[in-house]
Amino acid sequence: MWKWLFIRVIGLWNLFIFGLFTVIFLTVVGPLQAAAILFDPRRRVAATLTRWMWGGLMIHAHWPFWRVTTTGLERLGKGPWILASNHQSMLDIPVASRLPLPIRILARPGVFRMPVFGWMARHGRHINLDPSTPESLQRAVDHVRRELAEGASVLVFPEGTRGDGPGLLPLKRGVFEIAIQSGTDVLPICISGTRDALPKGSPFALKAFSRFHLQVLQPVPVAGRTRREVTRAVEEQLTGALSGLRPWEVCALVKQRYATLGRFQAGWAGGKTSADPVFWALHERMPRSGRWLDVGCGEGLLAVYLHSAGHSLHPYGIDPDKDRVAQANALFGEGFSVGDARALDAAGVPQGDWDVITCIDVLHYLSSEEQRAVLAALVARLRPGGALLVRDPDAARGLRGALTVGAERALVAGGRHVGEGVRAEGASGLTQWMSELLTDVRTEDCSAGTPFANVLLSGRKSG
């Protein structure tokens, strides 16, 4: 009874906030957008205000009933993209609007005939597509090309309508013809949890507190592919993402595991894995099984996270801090030892055939010569085809880079981290060194959503 009543109260709050924001838009934001047309013909101000209001403030107005976790922002790059999303609720649009991109939405004609929101859609240069007429398709393609040329990404819902259940409806291939004709790669995004907060056809939630996961997936190139091939690639990613664990579920399992070491350690582990995007990024990029060397393993936090997320990798870790290594072994029983990245043999690291090696936040404590030597030694221990993943501060990123390096120096001075100093080479230097040793080297921003500037590099050993 109390739960039913509480959900009804939240539903009334939803309606109140929705109505309030509509009034604010009509009286304040809308006129500001209209005035901005005089000096902003591309409607960038309109897009920014709309994203700030509907994608930011409306979600925050429902805290703590609604909370959003975003992963995969490092894949956004500079764009633009054709963003292909699943669709379970009207809330998918404000959640997707939280992406730090100018976005235009591909919508059916009925949206543009709606009171208020039709005007908002037209004013925001969103795209009208009537799939029943070839002329509308060509106009939509031309409109999409103009928006992409001006740097805006286009959001499509290839299911064509909102689904009634948690799964994915069959995707309509015609939507991807626009991506192929415009020559723009498709970036799938998966939104989960919104159906619980605002189900189709009802203002009342399915449960009192809802967590949303906005997940940016792997880009799907369109060059040389048919509509069927692009559709299948997007469908596979969205289906897999909808059936997987959510970040907060993994963090809860990590916190539960660390509770055996004490309440403080459990709180620290849960907070660290929630706030640092590198954990989910490595979960997505690392193999599910194989031999894994973790250089700079600390308390074994990454190993616990990956195992909690379903990986069965066999970890072997080294770290110069004996107390942190002792905590890692207390959780895993064995597999972690005290050692220096500059002396892998002396640390007892077995030679050869590692499937994957991680080196997270380690190199910047070494000199430039030592950093290059460590990278070469790690590559030598990879099996052919094995992967090396490195995360380090990007000192060249202005104020955020300076803040990151300063925080690392403070941790060293306070004794939290062991090092002789902080010498961050940054993205350009590390990319050059790794490109000399590995193939398929990729450099990604691994700090989106945080005040810091970190870069994640990955590459594979040839042969």
Average pLDDT, the chain: 83
Among 107-111, 279-283, 350-354, name the one with the lowest average pLDDT. 107-111
Strand-pair partners of 82: 154, 186
Predicted local distance difference test score (pLDDT) of residue 217: 93
d(CA 419, CA 131): 61
Which of the pair, 256 or 165, is modelled with greater confidence? 256
341 pLDDT more than 90: no
For 261-320, the pLDDT digits (tens) are: 888 999 999 999 998 999 999 999 999 999 999 999 989 999 999 999 999 998 899 998
In sequence order, the 6+-apart residues with CB closer than 8 A to the CB of 4 are none
Among 39-53, 86-100, 247-261, 447-461, name the one with the lowest average pLDDT. 39-53
Which fold does the domain 2-243 belong to in CATH?
Glycerol-3-phosphate (1)-acyltransferase (3.40.1130)
pTM over 0.95: no
Q: What is the mean pLDDT of residues 212-233?
A: 91
For 187-199, the pLDDT digits (tens) are: 999 999 888 887 7
Predicted local distance difference test score (pLDDT) of residue 311: 94
Which strands make up the sheet holding 314-319, listed edge to edge? 336-338, 314-319, 291-295, 354-360, 382-393, 454-460, 439-445
Tokens of 287: 């193999």
Alpha carbon distances (Å) from 396 to 131, 338, 401, 429: 47, 32, 6, 10
Tell me which range, 60-74, 128-142, 401-415, 429-443, is most confidently predicted by mean pLDDT: 429-443
Which of the pair, 333 or 225, is modelled with greater confidence? 225
Among 156-165, 347-356, 373-382, name the one with the lowest average pLDDT. 156-165
Give the angle 405-411-413 at the CA atoms, nearest 5°: 105
419: confidence class by pLDDT, cuts 50, 70, 90: low
CATH 3.40.50.150 residue window(s) in the chain? 248-460
Tokens of 270: 């849960």
- Cβ–Cβ under 8 Å, residues 155 and 201: no
Residue-level length of the chain:
463
d(CA 282, CA 362): 16
d(CA 302, CA 328): 10
181: confidence class by pLDDT, cuts 50, 70, 90: confident
User: Which CATH number is 248-460 given?
Assistant: 3.40.50.150
Predicted local distance difference test score (pLDDT) of residue 382: 93
Give the up-direction half-sphere exposure of residue 94: CA atoms within 13 A in the CB hemisphere.
23
Strands (E), 258-313: 291-295
Alpha carbon distances (Å) from 224 to 49, 172, 220: 38, 19, 12
Predicted local distance difference test score (pLDDT) of residue 379: 93
The separation between the first and the last C-alpha atoms of the chain, rounded to the nearest angstrom, is: 64
- Cβ–Cβ under 8 Å, residues 460 and 439: yes
d(CA 404, CA 438): 27
Nearest to 32 by CA among 42, 21, 18, 46: 46
CATH 3.40.1130 residue window(s) in the chain? 2-243
234: confidence class by pLDDT, cuts 50, 70, 90: very high
